[in-house]
Amino acid sequence: MSDPISRLDQFRADAPGAPMSSAAEVRRRGDQIRRRTRAVVTAGTAAVAAIVAGPIIFLSSGLGDQGIDPAPAPNADSIAASTGQSAYASPSDLTRANLPTEDDLVADDPYPAWVQEQTYDGEGSDTYNECLRDSLADSGAATTFRRDFVAKPGEEMADAAGTLKAVVAEFDSADEAEKVSIDLSDAAISCSGVDGAELAGTLPVEGDVISNGSIDVVTYPSDDPDMNAAWEVATAVVSAEDRVLVMTRKRGVQDYVQPTTLQTSAVNAAHRMVGTTPPSDPSTDPSTDPSATGAPTEQQLGDANLVAAGELPALDRFESALGWNRYTPTPDVPTLACQKEWLSTLGAAAKVTADYRWDTDSAMVGQVHVAVLEFPNVNEAGAAYNEVMEWMEVCPANKLGVDPTVTSLPRDVSADLDAGPKRAARSQATYPGQGGNDSIWFETELVAEYDTRLVLVGYGELAGPCPPSTGDKEDPCYQPDQPDSWPGRILAIEKAAVTAGISDLR
């Protein structure tokens, strides 16, 4: 069984998305695809010049960035080698401007933003996806371009973020592009080219320019004995009109980490591929303009919605030189031990999180995890509240690295918080500590709802086999010399977290 201390050598992966579907469901979607027409003519030569601006790199294979100086007209062999296009095919209007940019990509917390590393005319000289054995050119693509991304170098967690690579291709017809995309999805699901690959999940990708799309994630063991993780390869394949997008995210993960979704990034990249502006771009999305719809201004979450370490009451059972210390965990630690799924499955429009720990000289003995989630409307917030309540009631088995047991079912505590939430519920659970001894994590879990927002608080103290304190003199765990301050700490932490979480709504 895992505990929060041993989980500190893992990786985080909580990006926007939806629950993964089965591989069979994704295949069935191949029979239900819809065609849609392009909304905007593909960007022209001026856009190409804007995208190309930057360092010019040449590869010995001739597949790297091309120079911008005028050059002699290429012959048939050079066209085929550099672009994967037949010299006798009709001209293609696919350009580098149809590749995604860093602004189109979602960087999941706590990883830094993606930045461009290199752009290729063609598919590049190296393998960009271990699961796809045939090149797009071999599949009939007339023109291809590729762009590689890395997490911003020098930033915290950049080395653990992995890589992201995008390839766009144009085919002779929409039917051909659709067929190729389905074949690529099947190849990604089976990943026959990698020994030991196992399907971790699939996810459909849909949008108003997309004809067919899916994300297929596989994991396989690393041959590096020092790597405390497996490799994960997430492949997003999208067809739109006569074009196909392939995005590949590779990183190291533990088996309980939620698979990469890539969903929002793939939708944005699909729009870019057909020459339209991605829907997440606020400059063209009328839903972000209150005057266009009459809707209220969308609330923006930030650090002001997160309780500060200095506002948390001291864990007086243990001395600590630091007190409560906010930290960025290297694993994706669940906010609540009883979470069935990662919080991204709740469908929030925005989310901020914070993690705090109380350390002695030898171990972490206290932890507070807070998440504030903003939803598009009160109905979706209410549905998410009910879902979290169900997690807290049944505490289902999960793959998030925790094996908890419910010790106290949720009860209404909205009147105790003095923060005005519409409703709030608290439960308690336990899960084993480290070392195989009697140590136990005693966790209190809270969900509070206010208008379109939820605040989740998971507060755990290490004790065992008895709880941190009890005021019942008849309880076998009662200790006269032990202050009964645990209930007060619980309430103070919950009040502080909820007050900060909804501070801008009151």
Per-residue pLDDT of the chain (506 residues; tens, 9 = 90+): 333 333 323 333 333 344 555 555 544 444 443 333 333 333 333 333 333 333 322 222 232 333 333 344 444 444 444 444 433 334 579 999 999 999 999 887 778 899 999 999 999 989 999 999 889 999 999 999 999 999 999 888 888 899 999 999 999 999 999 999 999 999 999 999 899 998 888 888 887 799 999 999 999 998 887 777 889 999 999 999 999 999 999 999 876 566 788 888 999 999 999 999 888 544 333 333 333 333 333 457 888 999 999 999 988 778 887 889 888 765 567 899 998 888 888 989 999 898 999 988 878 889 999 999 999 999 999 999 999 999 999 887 666 667 788 899 999 998 888 766 789 999 999 988 865 567 889 999 999 999 999 999 999 999 878 888 766 667 677 676 666 688 899 999 999 999 999 988 87
Written as six digits, the tokens of 397 are 């088995």
Please report which helix (H) or strand (E) contains residue 118, including its range: strand 114-121
Q: Which residues pair with 38 in a beta bridge?
A: none
Strand (E) or helix (H) holding 45 = helix 45-52
Q: How far is CA 71 from CA 222, 247, 450, in A?
A: 45, 31, 63
**Burial class, 315, CB count within 10 angstroms (exposed 0-12 / middle 13-18 / buried 19+):** buried
Q: pLDDT, tens digit, for every residue of 387-438? A: 999 999 988 766 666 778 889 999 999 888 876 678 999 999 998 886 556 7
- Helix (H) or strand (E) holding 263, with range, is helix 263-273
Q: Measured in whole angstroms, how far is the alpha carbon of residue 138 from the centre of its chain?
A: 32
Identify whether the C-beta of residue 123 lies closer than 8 Å to the C-beta of residue 84: yes
Length of the chain in terms of residues written: 506
Cα distance between residue 128 and residue 95, in whole Å: 19
Report domain extents, the chain. 23-292, 300-505
Q: What is the pLDDT of residues 164-182, one digit of tens each?
A: 999 999 999 999 999 999 9
What whole-number distance in Å separates Cα of residue 20 and Cα of residue 30? 16
Choose which CATH entry (3.30.565.10, 3.40.718.10, 3.40.50.150, 3.40.1000.70) describes domain 300-505.
3.40.1000.70
Reduced to 3 states, what is the DSSP secondary structure of residue 440?
A: strand
- Please give the helix or strand (H or E) that residue 355 lies within, else none: strand 350-359
Are 254 and 232 within 8 A, CB to CB?
no
The overall pTM is greater than 0.75: no
Q: What SS3 string covers 20-80?
A: CECHHHHHHHCCCCCCCCCCCCCCCHHHHHHHHCCCCCCCCCCCCCCCCCCCCCCCHHHHH
**Closest to 404 in 3D by CA, of 371, 445, 436, 363:** 445
